[in-house]
Chains A and B, each alone.
Chain A
Amino acid sequence: METEFGPKVIFELPGEIFITETVVNTWIIMIILIIGSLILVRNFEKTPKRVQNAVETIVDMIYKLTEQGMGKDKLGFAPYIGTLFIFLIVANLWGLTGFRAPTADTNTTFALAIITFIMIHFFGIRSKGVLKYLKGFTEPVPFMLPLNIISELATPISLAFRLFGNIIGGLIIMSLLYGALAGLSVKLGIPIPIFEVGIPAAFHMYFDIFAGVLQSFIFVMLTMVFVSMAMD
C-alpha cells in the first residue's frame, strides 16, 4: 500500500523549483475557467437567452451572497468573492475526475488564506485609519494585546487547514477504500474489480461533493465575515 499522500512532483524547473500535481492541476482549472468565462459571455444581448440567463443567475446569486455576508456598502468585493467561490468549487470537485484536488495541498489553501489575511488587514487599515486600526488590538482592555495578535494569526491558519483537512481527509479515506476494494476482489479471485464500481459512489457523494461544496461555501463566507468585520 502506498504510504505517501503528498502531491507528486511532475517536473523540476532550474533552481530547484518543483512543479507538482497541484500546480499542474491548478493550471488546468485556470485554463478551463478562463476559456469557459470567455465563451459564456459571448454574444450577450439586452433580452437574455438561455446561456445568458444561467450566467446572469449565477452572478445575481453571488451579489446576493456578498450583500448578505458583507452588507450593501461592500458589494465591490463581489467579483473577488465570486471568483474565489467558483475556483474553490471546481478545485474541490476536481478529485472526482480522478486527478488530485489542488486544495488537498497546504500550498494552495495557505495561498488563499493569506490573500484573505492581507485583505482583512489592508481593508481594515484603509477604512479605519492606521491609529484606529492599531487601537483595535488593545480592545477591550490593553492587557488583551498579545491575545488579540495571536488570534489574528490563528485566523489564516485555521482557514487554510479547515479546507485542507477536509479535502485531504476525503482523499486519504477514498484511496484506502479503493485499495481495500481492490484487495477484496483479488482475495475472492475475481479478475474484474467489480467492487470498485458502485460502492465508492456513496462515499464520493459525502467526501467530495458534500464536503467539497460545503467547505467552498464556508471558506468564502468566513472570508466575507472577517473582512467586513475588520472594516466596520
Chain B
Amino acid sequence: MEYTDFITAFINWLLSFDKRALILAFSAIGAGLAMIAGIGPGIGQGYAAGKGAEATGDNPKESKQSIMVMLLGAGIAETSGILSLVIALILLFGNPLVNLDGDKLVLAASAIGAGLAMMAGIGPGIGQGYAAGKGCEASSNNPKASKSSMLVMLLGSAVAQTSGIFSLVVALLLMYANPLATMEGHQLILATSAIAAGLAMIAGVGPGIGQGYAAGKAAESVSINPEGSRGATLVMLLGSAVAQTSGVFSLVIALLLMYANPLVTLEGATIVLAASALGAGFAMIAGIGPGIGQGYAAGKGTEAVGLRPKLQPEIVKTMILGQAVAQTTGVYGLVIALVLLFANPLIQLL
C-alpha cells in the first residue's frame, strides 16, 4: 500500500524542499505556462497578414490604408501576448511570491495558477487578429467607409480583450495580493484552489475568439452598408456581452476559490476537498465552447442587421434565443463547479 499512495509521496517530496527553492521552481513552470497564450496572437496576426496581402492584391490603390488598418489591428492582437510576457518576466525577474508570507506549497501553486490564467490570452489573440483581418478587408473593399469600419473593429477588439483582462486580474491577485497565502486551512486545499482559479480562467479563450469574430463581422458589415452601422454596432456589442457570460462565470468561480472558499472550512478527507477545488476549476473550462458559439451568433446577427437594419428586433430576438441555448453546457459546468464547492456529495460518501 505504501507505494500506491503516490499523492502523499509526491506532496511529501515537494515539501522536502526549501520554501524559496519550491516557489522558484514552480515559478519557472508558471512562466512557461503563461507563454502558451502566444498561440493566439500568432494565429490571429497570421490571419490579419493574409487578409492584408489579399487586400493589396485586390485593390492596390488603397493598399496603404488597408495595410495601416491591418497593422493597427494586429498590434491590438499582440496585447495578450505582451500581458503574458509581462507575467512571465515578473515571475522570472521580480518574483513577488518569494517575499510573501505564507505556506510554501500555496505560494508555489499560485505561480502555476497565475501562469494557467494567462493562457486565456489565446482567445483574444485569435479573435482580435480575425477582426484586424476583416477590418483590413473592409477598408480595401470600401475605402470611403474605411474610418468607420476601423472604429467599429477597434471597439469590438477592445471588448474582445475583456476575458484576457479578467485573467490578468486573477494572475495579478495570485501574485501580489494572494488571499490564499494567509487563509486558515489545509495547505493542500489552498494550493489546489490557487491552481483551480487559474484553470477556471482558461475559459476566457472562448469569449475572446467569439467576440473577435463578432468584431470582424461588424467591420465587414459597416463597409458593405455604412448606413446600417449604428444597428450593426449595437447588435455586435449586445451579442458580445452575451458571449462574455462564460468568462464571467469563470471569474466568479476563481474569486470564490480565492476569497470565499467553502472547502477550507469543511470537514472531510483533505485529498477529496483539494481535488474538488481542482474539479471545479476544470469544469469551468467548458466555457470555451459557449464563448466561441455565442460569438459566432453575435457575428452573424451583426452581419444580418448590417444588411437589413429594419429587421433588427427579429434578428436580435433569434440571436439571443440561440445564444441562451448555446450557454447550456457552460451553465452545466458552473452547476457542477458550484456543487463541488458548496454541496459536495463526495464528502458524505466517505
Q: CB within 8 Å of B: which residues of A?
A: 1-3, 5-6, 68, 71, 147, 150-151, 154, 157-158, 161-162, 165-166, 168-169, 172-173, 176, 179, 206, 210-211, 214, 217-218, 221-222, 225-226, 229
Contact = CB atoms under 8 A, between A and B. Distances in A.
A158 B245 contact: yes
Given A151-B328, A172-B173, A158 B248 contact: yes
A184 B168 CA distance: 21
A3 B179 contact: yes
Interface stretch (B13-21, B186-194, B233-241): B233-241
B165 interface: yes
Given A225-B320, A229-B317, A169 B169 contact: yes
B172 A173 contact: yes
Nearest to B182: A3
Given A2-B177, A225-B238, A154 B168 contact: no
A206 B158 contact: yes
Nearest to A162: B248
A196 B320 CA distance: 43
A35 B334 CA distance: 43
Given A225-B316, A229-B320, A154 B331 contact: yes
Contacts of A71: 313
B237 A150 contact: no
22 contacts: A147-B328, A150-B335, A151-B325, A158-B245, A158-B248, A158-B249, A161-B249, A162-B241, A165-B166, A165-B252, A166-B162, A172-B173, A173-B169, A176-B176, A211-B162, A218-B241, A221-B237, A222-B241, A225-B238, A225-B316, A225-B317, A226-B320
Interface of A is mostly: helix
B176 A1 contact: yes
Interface in B307-330: 312-313, 316-317, 320-321, 324-325, 327-328
Residue picked from A71, A158, A166, most chain B C-beta under 10 Å: A158
B305 to A, nearest CB: 11
B248 A68 contact: no
A85 to B, nearest CB: 14
Contacts of A150: 328, 331, 335
A220 to B, nearest CB: 11
A210 B158 contact: yes
B87 interface: no
A206 B251 CA distance: 20
A176 B245 contact: no
B169 A162 contact: no
A218 B248 contact: no
Nearest to A2: B177
A-B pairs with lowest CB-CB distance, top 3: A218-B241, A158-B245, A3-B177
Given A176-B172, A225-B316, A151 B248 contact: no
A161 B252 contact: yes
A218 B172 contact: no
B267 to A, nearest CB: 27
A1 B280 CA distance: 29
A221 B158 contact: no
A162 B245 CA distance: 7
Contacts of A2: 177
Contact of B178 (A3, A158, A176): A3
B176 A221 contact: no
Given A154-B245, A158-B245, A169-B169, 19 more contacts: A1-B176, A2-B177, A6-B259, A68-B312, A151-B327, A154-B327, A161-B248, A162-B245, A162-B248, A169-B166, A172-B169, A173-B169, A210-B158, A218-B237, A221-B234, A221-B237, A222-B238, A226-B320, A229-B321
B159 interface: yes
A1 B238 contact: no
Contacts of B251: 161, 165, 169
A169 B167 CA distance: 9
B278 to A, nearest CB: 22
B302 interface: no
Contacts of B320: 225-226, 229
A207 to B, nearest CB: 8
B110 interface: no
B244 interface: yes
B123 to A, nearest CB: 16
Contacts of B328: 147, 150-151
